[in-house]
Amino acid sequence: MHTPSSRSRDQAPAVRSLAQRIGRWTALPTVAVLLAVAITASFSSSRTYQVRPGDTLSAIAARYHTTVAALVRLNNLPGNGNLIYAGSVLRIPGHHHGGHAGHAAVHHGTYRVWRPYVVKPGDSLYAIAARFHANPRVIARHNHLPSSLIVMLGQRLGIPHRVSVGGGPDPFRGVYVPSRTTVAAMIRSTALHWGVDPRFALGISYEESGFNQRVISKVGAIGAMQVMPGTGAWVATSVLHRPINLYRAHDDIAAGVALLAVLLRETHGNQRLAAAGYYQGLSSVRTRGMFRDTKQYVANVLALRNRF
């Protein structure tokens, strides 16, 4: 989510207790329902994405904070976009510069997105469906399983998952939303304050939101650093020791960078593990290893870091 080695050693016990609680966040990763994506480094009016095996249009739409309908329309896809092929290139609706109200990425309603899952030893379709509270027939239809409904070890499946974003007034109303350039400058200064490599923090933010403070993901992650509300509350109490409002860029960036500082301390400055912890949860990474989409996320972040 780039090392705070300059911070005093007397904070180590507190940081250890913080890290123990990091494991509780594994159910709240900022982008856990999203598949890996290719990132471009430019802020263009639209960008492209090359479809990979296992991708679904709904997952691509969720990752880029757009809709299936927008992707179908922009790319002239047949039908409702169910047929996309690995290797094909899609145009992605771009985000505009600045923080004007008309560019808010808040989409209210209930959505079905597809989380990735790799079949493990002992799995069956019905066991997987029961684990995720999903309909096995829906899983079978979406993944084009044979009539026998057999799943194979190592097979990658898309599992349906419903997320809701409640209606209501624009949460950014009355809040100053800085431009992307200003957000990037704020991330640099905050990272230096926390002893975090600014390039690493910038790589995290660009991967998460493209420096767009107005982004609210469909799982509720907020702002340029895509901090979940529960995570933000914990960081505010245990790390920042002050109230925060994640809709304010200053607080969102402070929460995300402070979390990076904790993760880097716990991983002895290993940016690869820290980025994985920001995405997947450090406890999960340590006990289960990096998921396939986590590995791609980390690769994206480190590549972006080298461009800043």
pLDDT digits (tens, 9 = 90+) for 256-306: 999 999 999 999 999 999 999 999 888 889 988 999 888 999 999 999 999
Segments of the chain assigned to CATH 3.10.350.10? 46-94, 109-165
The fold of the 109-165 domain, in CATH, is: Membrane-bound Lytic Murein Transglycosylase D; Chain A (3.10.350)
Q: 């494991």: which residue's tokens?
A: 23
Return the CATH number of 46-94, one of 3.40.190.10, 2.70.98.10, 3.10.350.10, 3.40.50.300: 3.10.350.10
| pTM for this entry | 0.51
Give the integer Cα–Cα distance in Å for 137 and 270: 42
**What would the CATH number be for the domain defined by 4-30+177-305?**
1.10.530.10
Strands 156-165, 46-50: pairing kind: unpaired
Nearest to 112 by CA among 160, 159, 146: 160
Per DSSP, the three-state class of 194 is helix
Angle between helices 271-280 and 198-209 (to 10 degrees): 30
Q: Are 213 and 178 in contact (CB under 8 A)?
A: yes
Q: Each residue of 160-192: pLDDT tens digit?
A: 866 544 455 678 888 999 999 999 999 999 999
Averaged pLDDT score across all residues of the chain: 75
Q: Each residue of 187-243: pLDDT tens digit?
A: 999 999 999 999 999 999 998 888 999 888 767 789 999 998 888 888 998 899 999
Q: Distances from the Cα of 123 to the Cαs of 73, 287, 293, in angstroms?
A: 38, 20, 20
Which of residues 281 and 10 earns the better pLDDT score? 281
Beta strands in the chain, from DSSP E residues, in sequence order? 46-50, 89-93, 109-118, 156-165
